[in-house]
Structure 1
Amino acid sequence: MTTPQPPTNRRRRPIWLMLLVFWCLVIFALSAQPDLRVAHNDLADFVVRKLAHVVTYGALALLASMTFRQEGQPLTRLPIGAALFSLLYAASDEWHQTFVTGRHGSPVDVAIDMIGVTLVALLLQLRMRARTISTTSSGELP
């Protein structure tokens, strides 16, 4: 009797792609809103909105990584393609906002978006190091 094999990335790729497209649509829809004020206090509103940029684009980078990673490769680093995709989507999103009444695009927001992408890249590196230390200490080769 054969044991079932876990789904390969090739079989999961359409799911990751659908999640990536969905997340891009969520970002697009939020950017199309004329006013996204989240707090009555200006400082609190600023902080929450900028943290939302970091989290939103960190999630985008992770979804892009899962979509673009190569067959059989563990997710241990952020692929260049995923980072580039995230950067281009962030820039296009800011440009999109220039067409929305009450909104404006900002290169500073693109930089803040890239903080989220960078944090995901760092977390993936930490995951890789922890995995390497774990396999090395158990006597296996990394």
Structure 2
Amino acid sequence: MDSGMKRKQIFHWIPALVMMGVIFWFSSQPSYNLPNFNWADRLVKKGGHMVGYGVLGLAYWYGFGWRLEKRWLAWMLVILFALSDEYLQSFVPGRNASIWDVLVFDNLGGLIALWLAEFRLKRKRPGADA
């Protein structure tokens, strides 16, 4: 593999690293620094989990070059990062770890985004099955 190809592969992982940093930054904010969205607070925050981890799943899959056989690995990385992020969040003042955030919101966000991207990719590449 030539150096240009390696550079391209490394470049493909930058969005995932950026998204991991964004999620980590949000998770490391003490509860007193977080905005309150009144009646929509839970909806906004749990929706944020789904969107954030959906984007992370897509970024992981992009890192793998959109190869269909790697979509499940991208999803597993979403779950592993979500577990580690929730654990680290348990050390932040006023915050706690929630396995439900991982099992429901983070997991589903990643899964739905990857499924929608797979659906779109298969429509663009007829006969692509893996």
TM class, shorter-length: 0.7 to 0.9
Q: How many residues matched?
A: 122
Q: CA deviation at 1:96?
A: 0.7
C-alpha contact (below 8 Å) 1:94/1:106 kept by paired residues: yes
- C-alpha distance in 2 between matches for 1:131 and 1:20: 23
- C-alpha distance in 1 between matches for 2:18 and 2:122: 31
Name the residue aligned to 2:57. 61
The two structures have a TM-score, normalised by structure 1, of 0.74
Q: CA deviation at 1:13?
A: 2.2
C-alpha contact (below 8 Å) 1:13/1:66 kept by paired residues: no
Question: Which structure ranks higher in relative contact order (CA pairs < 8 Å, sequence separation ≥ 6)?
Answer: 2
Compare the two structures and name the one with the higher helix fraction.
2
| 2:10 equivalent to 1:17 | no
Q: CA deviation at 1:63?
A: 0.5
The aligned amino acid for 1:37 is P
| 2:119 equivalent to 1:101 | no
Structure 1 residue ranges without an equivalent (≥5)? 1-6, 136-140
C-alpha contact (below 8 Å) 1:23/1:60 kept by paired residues: yes
Describe the superposition over 1:48-103 as per-residue Cα deviations: whole angstroms up to 9, x where unpaired.
Answer: 0011000000000000001123xxxx555762221111100001111111100100
| 2:23 equivalent to 1:31 | no
C-alpha contact (below 8 Å) 2:64/2:70 kept by paired residues: no
Q: CA deviation at 1:37?
A: 2.9
The two structures have a TM-score, normalised by structure 2, of 0.81
